[in-house]
Amino acid sequence: MNQTSNGYGLSRIRRGLWALTGVAAVALGAAFLWQALTRPDLPAPRVTGEAAITNAYTLTDHTGQMLTADSFDGQWQLVFFGFTHCPDICPTTLAYMAQVMDKLGPGATQVTPIFITVDPARDTRDVMAAYVGAFHPRMVGLTGTEAQVAEAARNFRVWYERAEDTTAPDGYTMAHSGHIYLMAPDGRFFDVWMEGDAPAETFANNLSTLIQTTGSSS
């Protein structure tokens, strides 16, 4: 009885091993076929460890001046995309950015907080002026045409989308990502975070250290 059971068990194990061998053979064959069909001149993907974020745009600020990213050369920049009719994340994040600015003390002169709208149809220059002025005197509000805003968002890898909502003003709202981008004085992307990642004081202290270590040309 035991020998029969053992023999039956060994037979099942052998069948299982043969099955696994067959699967491995098929997978190996598929791999060779893929290599044979893949063009040899295609370059391998490069992973640099850097985010594909480009600090590039041409927009109008809340005073009516046409600006580009180069307009803030020599300044650390806190860049956030949102819209003035936003009920929660935008005012909360802009208030957080204002707190960071207040806690920077004298170092705040080397930092520019920037709010770029994703709703240019409603966020005109005058609307942006009233909105950013309520948060911090150094905050810059940027708007533009639909195409200009779309280009800026694309360069920063920011997602946004109009969402119909009968309960919202004008019957729609804007869904969007909620990241704050820290750009270095030379315009390069430095870091990204969200309002809840750290207290404003902690971030201000870290930014102060960066300012003292790297300096600024402003």
Q: What is the mean pLDDT of residues 199-214?
A: 93
**Does one domain contain both 100 and 190?**
yes
Nearest CA among 197, 176, 170 for reference residue 118: 176
**206 three-class SS:** helix
At 55 the pLDDT is 95
Domain count, the chain: 2
Q: Could you tell me which residue, 39 or 85, shows the higher pLDDT?
A: 85
Asked, for residue 168, whether it belongs to a domain, the answer is yes
Which pLDDT band, with edges at 50, 70 and 90, does 195 fall under? confident
Q: Is 104 exposed, middle or buried (0-12, 13-18, 19+ CB in 10 A)?
A: buried
**Does one domain contain both 177 and 90?**
yes
Asked, for residue 50, whether it belongs to a domain, the answer is no
**Does one domain contain both 72 and 124?**
yes
Asked, for residue 131, whether it belongs to a domain, the answer is yes
Give residue 95's domain range: 58-214
**CA dihedral in degrees (106, 107, 108, 114; nearest 10)?**
170
pLDDT > 90: what percent of the chain? 71
User: What are 43-91's pLDDT values in tens digits?
Assistant: 343 333 445 899 999 999 999 999 999 999 999 999 999 999 999 999 9
What's the CATH code of the domain at 183?
3.40.30.10
Instruction: Please count the CA atoms within 13 angstroms of the CA of 115 that sit on its side-chain side.
Output: 36
Asked, for residue 49, whether it belongs to a domain, the answer is no
**Does one domain contain both 107 and 3?**
no
Asked, for residue 178, whether it belongs to a domain, the answer is yes
**Does one domain contain both 1 and 28?**
yes
**Does one domain contain both 71 and 164?**
yes
What is the C-alpha to C-alpha distance for residues 177 and 55, in angstroms, rounded to an integer?
Answer: 17
Which pLDDT band, with edges at 50, 70 and 90, does 196 fall under? confident
At 51 the pLDDT is 57
**Does one domain contain both 36 and 64?**
no
**Does one domain contain both 206 and 101?**
yes
Is residue 48 within 8 Å of 152, Cβ to Cβ? no
For residue 125, pLDDT over 70 is answered with yes
- pLDDT averaged over the chain? 82
Q: Could you tell me which residue, 38 or 124, shows the higher pLDDT?
A: 124
**Does one domain contain both 25 and 111?**
no
What is the C-alpha to C-alpha distance for residues 18 and 142, in angstroms, rounded to an integer?
Answer: 66
Asked, for residue 46, whether it belongs to a domain, the answer is no
Asked, for residue 14, whether it belongs to a domain, the answer is yes
Asked, for residue 74, whether it belongs to a domain, the answer is yes
**Does one domain contain both 9 and 115?**
no
**Does one domain contain both 94 and 140?**
yes
